[in-house]
Chain A
Amino acid sequence: MTPRELARVLLGYVLGLALIAIVLSAVLGLNRKHAPTGTKIVSVWQGGVRVARAVVSGDATHTLEAEAGRGGTRVVSEIVDSAPMLSFNRLIFAACVAPVKDGVMASYAGQTAYATPDDLLKAEAYEANLQLGPTALVLGIDADKVLGLLAKELRTTPDELFQHGKFRRFALKTEKRPFPREVTPSNVKLDDVRYAVLSSARYLARNQKRDGSFRYEVDATTGADSNDYNFPRHAGATYFLARAGNQLRDAHLFHAGRQAGAYMKDRTTLHCGAHACVGQGDEVDVGASALGLLAYVELLNGGAGEFRDAALDIAAFLRSQQLANGDFMHFYSVKEQHPINVQVEYYTGEAAFALARVARISGDARDLEAAKRALSFLVGRSPLFIGAHYFWGAEHWTCQVMEDLWQRAPDETALRFCLDWQAANRNLQLSSPPEPPEYDGGLSRGPFVSPRLTPLASRLEAAVATLSVARGAGVDQKELALLEDEIRRGFAFLLRYQFSPGPTYLMPDPRGVSGGVPGSPVDLHVRIDYPQHAGDAWLRWLELNDVRH
């Protein structure tokens, strides 16, 4: 090939590519700031179910008023623009919709059906996991759910609709909605935070069963709860309830924590060698015992003396699991009565935190020493590891240990570690613009995926703990200001999405989930650890600011 031929090939290629790109962009693009087209979708919701729908052109002031008059909620959505969707392949079809913003309309056999953002949120259709070998990727909406929803309206099958239907996505006029709430970092007030803590703790108390366990994961859009259960998370919820009860002097919350603690002590305490441990089955993990111990310590602090023996016994179990390097063996075979030297995420930090806390009650120097050694292990990173600046685990427990030990055994390395980790977290924090305003302060999971609330909440627990130490440790004012800004922006994001009261018209039982913290803007499930982590971060913020004032 001569240089002239090469130049011709490349020029043709670039021009061809540019032409396809311009056409693709013009055809598929959507202008969300476009003036309304005049088409309005009127929906009436009752008991979390859509009971009526009408699509009108022009004035919709009185459309479906009678239906809404019988205790329903009438929602009018106005279409501002629409664009075709590529439907030659389900994967591409699924990638054609922007989560939370777009609706989908389908035309088939002379009829048109609409799936509004509310419909898609209710159907939990905005995110679908695509399993590629060991990797789960979110590449777009759940095409099966969307097709099912539209096919039902058009009285056909999803496959028939996909083959012969025509699809467009549409954008709606931006209006003030009850969910997410409008919260900015500057209007995160202490009273709001206090209310948020109380309501998240009350969510847990309200969803507690008679035996002290919780409704583990409640789907706010159906009111149903899952049959799964997880003991570390039960213990975490217990810890938060007891802590909230103590700090806010709320006897009702403390009582709920006490019941949840009794459930662990009386029903899920096993023998691991010479000591007690928390869990069920042939094998237990250190996490349930560590968080159980944290909960018992909080309950003891509130005067529930019946947990003292159990707390000291579990502390001994945790110490017996510790290795010479400060780490822990994370499992114990109850069946064969021996520790299992396998490590997973979180548990070392949880065990360290529990031992740091129980040391105040036990007065046993071995507990404090074990916690110090575990913290040193957690924050120890080789200076030769260049990747240390880029790769981080979930260190939210580590930094709470650092804060708890600071007065008794200050660890400068741990403080630097926590400050650096928060700096890394700030790099992942979303900013608006270019992100939508409602996502400002959230933690990025990737460009097209909605941020989740709990990974942020747990990081904020650690961020507040780090701030409280950093303020008294001579850390640079600029770094403190960055940390505080990160916390405020994170809190604003969490408060926006807490069910306070949330999109009540999509819920069959809004009161049941009131105060709950959902998984993400598109995942309206509330698992017990979601309000726990958010609530605990807020609680720490109140504690820090009460001290300051």
Chain B
Amino acid sequence: MAALLGSRVRIGFAALNALVALILLVAVFGLLKVRFWGIDLPAAMISLAEIVSAVALFRRLPWAMRALAVSAWITFVLGLILVGLIVLTMVFLRSIHGEDGLAATAISGLIVALIVPYTLVVPAAQLLWLKQQPSESGS
């Protein structure tokens, strides 16, 4: 029963990682017309790690857990940085513009709410799950 559940979770994480990679690639390299290394490089890093770990999880490769740990840590750390930067930008603009920055604060808050599931919740859940797996997970 536990093995079946573990297998389902593994496939679920594989699908989630593939989805996150797809969303990132389409959003950054498809919709964003401006190329800027500060966005492109982290997006490419996360996408690559997510795709590699998704393939490894789907195909049950021996290093799948290690790949998942790497992708989860990269996403989690970059996610914390991204959320932090958006929040500090909100604070900065609010300090400069006072009440006039209310609309921008609301929009930035919405952006944070939209990215938190992909950048923090999913990798955190993966890291927690990896901890419960046998030692080859490498977490």
Known interface pairs A98-B96, A447-B104, A447-B107; A1-B34 also in contact (CB < 8 Å)? no
Cβ-based interface call for A97 (8 A): yes
CB contacts (< 8 Å) of A17 on chain B: these are 84, 87-88
Residue of B nearest to A2 (CB): B131
CB contacts (< 8 Å) of A434 on chain B: these are 99-100, 102
Within 22-60 of A, Cβ neighbours of B (below 8 Å) are at: 24-25, 27-30, 32
Q: How large is the interface on B (under 10, 10 to 19, 20 to 34, 35 or more residues)?
A: 20 to 34
Residue of B nearest to A21 (CB): B91
Cβ-based interface call for A448 (8 A): yes
Interface mask (B85-101 → A, CB under 8 Å = 1, otherwise 0): 00110011111111111
CB contacts (< 8 Å) of B139 on chain A: these are 1
Alpha-carbon separation in the docked complex, A17 to B88 (Å): 8
Cβ-based interface call for A303 (8 A): no
Cβ-based interface call for B45 (8 A): no
Within 438-457 of A, Cβ neighbours of B (below 8 Å) are at: 444, 447-448
Cβ-based interface call for B113 (8 A): no
Nearest CB of chain A from residue B56's CB, rounded to whole Å: 20
Within 78-111 of A, Cβ neighbours of B (below 8 Å) are at: 83, 95-98
> Are A13 and B97 in contact, CB atoms less than 8 angstroms apart?
no
Query: Max chain A CB contacts within 10 Å: which of B33, B91, B101?
Result: B91
> Are B97 and A98 in contact, CB atoms less than 8 angstroms apart?
yes
Cβ-based interface call for A20 (8 A): yes
Cβ-based interface call for A387 (8 A): no
Cβ-based interface call for A435 (8 A): yes
Residue of A nearest to B106 (CB): A447
> Are A133 and B97 in contact, CB atoms less than 8 angstroms apart?
no
Interface mask (A419-440 → B, CB under 8 Å = 1, otherwise 0): 0000000000000011110000
Residue of A nearest to B120 (CB): A10
Within 18-49 of B, Cβ neighbours of A (below 8 Å) are at: 33-36
Cβ-based interface call for B128 (8 A): yes
- Option from B88, B103, B131 in Cβ contact (under 8 Å) with A447: B103
Known interface pairs A1-B128, A6-B124, A6-B128; A29-B95 also in contact (CB < 8 Å)? yes
> Are B98 and A21 in contact, CB atoms less than 8 angstroms apart?
no
A interface size (C-beta, 8 A): 32
Known interface pairs A20-B88, A132-B34; A448-B100 also in contact (CB < 8 Å)? yes
Cβ-based interface call for A135 (8 A): yes
Alpha-carbon separation in the docked complex, A547 to B3 (Å): 82
- Option from B33, B94, B96, B99 in Cβ contact (under 8 Å) with A95: B96
Alpha-carbon separation in the docked complex, A3 to B131 (Å): 9
Interface of A, secondary structure class, is loop
> Are B104 and A24 in contact, CB atoms less than 8 angstroms apart?
no
Nearest CB of chain B from residue A503's CB, rounded to whole Å: 21
Alpha-carbon separation in the docked complex, A448 to B54 (Å): 41
Cβ-based interface call for A134 (8 A): yes
> Are A6 and B88 in contact, CB atoms less than 8 angstroms apart?
no
> Are A25 and B91 in contact, CB atoms less than 8 angstroms apart?
yes
Within 24-82 of B, Cβ neighbours of A (below 8 Å) are at: 33-36, 80
Alpha-carbon separation in the docked complex, A20 to B85 (Å): 11
> Are A447 and B100 in contact, CB atoms less than 8 angstroms apart?
yes
CB contacts (< 8 Å) of A135 on chain B: these are 33-34
Alpha-carbon separation in the docked complex, A25 to B96 (Å): 9
Within 503-525 of A, Cβ neighbours of B (below 8 Å) are at: none
Known interface pairs A6-B128, A24-B92, A95-B96; A448-B101 also in contact (CB < 8 Å)? yes
Within 133-156 of A, Cβ neighbours of B (below 8 Å) are at: 133-135
> Are B95 and A133 in contact, CB atoms less than 8 angstroms apart?
no
Given A21-B88, A435-B100, 9 other A-B residues pairs in contact with their CB atoms under 8 A: A6-B128, A17-B88, A21-B91, A27-B95, A134-B34, A135-B34, A169-B96, A434-B99, A447-B100
User: 22 pairs across A/B with beta carbons < 8 Å?
Assistant: A1-B124, A1-B139, A3-B128, A6-B124, A6-B127, A17-B87, A24-B95, A25-B91, A27-B95, A29-B98, A32-B98, A98-B96, A98-B97, A132-B34, A169-B96, A436-B100, A447-B93, A447-B104, A448-B93, A448-B97, A448-B101, A448-B104
Spell out B's residues near A (CB within 8 Å): 33-36, 80, 84, 87-88, 91-104, 107, 124, 127-128, 130-131, 139
